[in-house]
Amino acid sequence: QKRRDQVMSITVLYFASLREAAGKSSEQLPLPDSLSALYEELNGHYRFGFDQHALRVAVNDRFAAWQSPVRDGDTVAFIPPVSGG
């Protein structure tokens, strides 16, 4: 049972070049105000090198819009463009 004073959090998953830049495949972070704000903060910290509009974002294993709400316990994944051949 969660106590009321516990910080709400999400899990962020990193793939491909984002994982390399972050130096990890995932981390727990406090619940953000928005997906856009979360990415901007992480991009500033890890210097991913992508504008958010170049990425896809998924919440709980489903592609989502950048305006989608984020709730306590959600899993968020930022998916960089992948070059194919």
Question: In this predicted model, what pLDDT tens digit does every residue of 3-21 receive, in sequence order?
Answer: 556 789 999 999 999 999 9
Spatial CB neighbours of 63, under 8 Å, sequence gap ≥ 6: 56, 57
Q: Name residue 61's amino acid.
A: D
Let me know the angle formed at the C-alpha of 53 by 64 and 61, rounded to the nearest 5 degrees: 25
- Residue 4's pLDDT is 58
- Residue 45's pLDDT is 97
What is the radius of gyration, based on Cα positions, of the chain?
13
pTM: 0.87
The residue to which tokens 């903060």 are assigned = 41
- Rounded to whole angstroms, the Cα distance separating 47 from 31 reads 21
Give the three-class secondary structure for 68: coil
